[in-house]
Amino acid sequence: MIYDRRRTIMKLAGLFFLLIGIVIMVFLLRNSASSSGGSLTVTTDVTPVKLELGDIEKSVDTTSQKLSAPIGTYKYRASVQMDGKTVSLVDTVNVSKDAKLALSFKQLTSATIVNTLCANLGASRSCPFSVKNTVVSFAEGNTWAVSASSPVGYDKTTTVLRMNGGKWSIVEGPGTYIPTGGYYPRSVEEAINNAK
């Protein structure tokens, strides 16, 4: 009788410790899943991309690629080779279990700027600007652009553009003289002065 009671107590105690063990394991697994195991789907219009997430370095070789990284907030730098130079996008991204990051590099090409300049002239006129006669410099983390165009038969013109909601809009120009002296951020003014 006493022997049976002891066995029952032992069984109950074993069950109790087993339950505690399961609870601890679930807690640890959940915890580790929340501190790592993040997923980031990167879409890009130019490949390959060298993507730096904090101290982690990844390569994006297709236009849509799923990457794994510990969950957290990262400052990132995405770099590609375009127009014969390195173009980088810098921002922050929250990596969660199903995070997304869209990279748009084509906005940072001379062709996009020329298209914006031409669209500004309207469809009724032929566009004197082309990639061949336009030099573009980007400033302030690629949020400003200054273009210098030398179309045949026209004077050299400068245009100042600013990125608004993912699209370029013209702030000043095209004009043969763009005044500086504190109107724009310093790096933009430097680009305007270099374009003159």
Partner 1 sequence: MQNKSRHTKWLAALSTAVVVIAVFVLFVVMGHGKPVQYKQLNSKIGSYSIREDTLYTLDKNGFVATSLETGTEKRYSLIRMSSTVPAFSWDGSGALFLSSPDFNTIDDVAIAANEQGVDSMRPHWWRYDAKTNALTVFNPRQTDDCTSLTEISSDSFVCVKQASDTVSSDLYLVKSSGAGAQYLFTNPYSIRSVYYDSVHGSLYYVTQRLSGFDSVYSYSFKNNEESLVYKSSGGIDGLSVDKDGLVYLLQKRSPQKQTSGQGSPSIGTVAPDDKHYDGQALVVYDAHTTKTLPLRNLPVRLYTDSGVSHISYSDGEILAIQDSKPKRIFEADRGTKKSPAVFYFSHGDKRYYIDKGSLYVQSSK
The residues that touch partner 1, with contacts defined as CB under 8 A, are 35-36, 52-56, 69-77, 79, 88, 90, 92, 95, 137-142, 181-182, 186-187, 190
**Closer residue to partner 1 (CB): 128 or 158:** 158
> Shortest distance, CB of residue 74 to partner 1, whole angstroms?
5
Shortest Cβ distance from residue 177 to partner 1 (Å)?
A: 18
CA 65 to chain centre: 14
User: Min. distance of Cβ 38 from partner 1 in angstroms?
Assistant: 8
Instruction: List residues bridging with 68 in a β-sheet.
Output: 39
- For partner 1, give the closer residue by CB, 89 or 117: 89
CA dihedral 113, 116, 121, 123 (to 10 degrees): 120
Cβ neighbors of 171 (< 8 A, separation 6 or more) are 160, 161, 162
Query: What minimum distance in Å lies between the beta carbon of 51 and partner 1?
Result: 11
**Cβ distance to partner 1 smaller for residue 37 or 48:** 37
The half-sphere exposure of 112 on its side-chain side, counting CA atoms within 13 A, is 19
The distance of Cα 120 from the centroid of its chain, to the nearest Å, equals 27
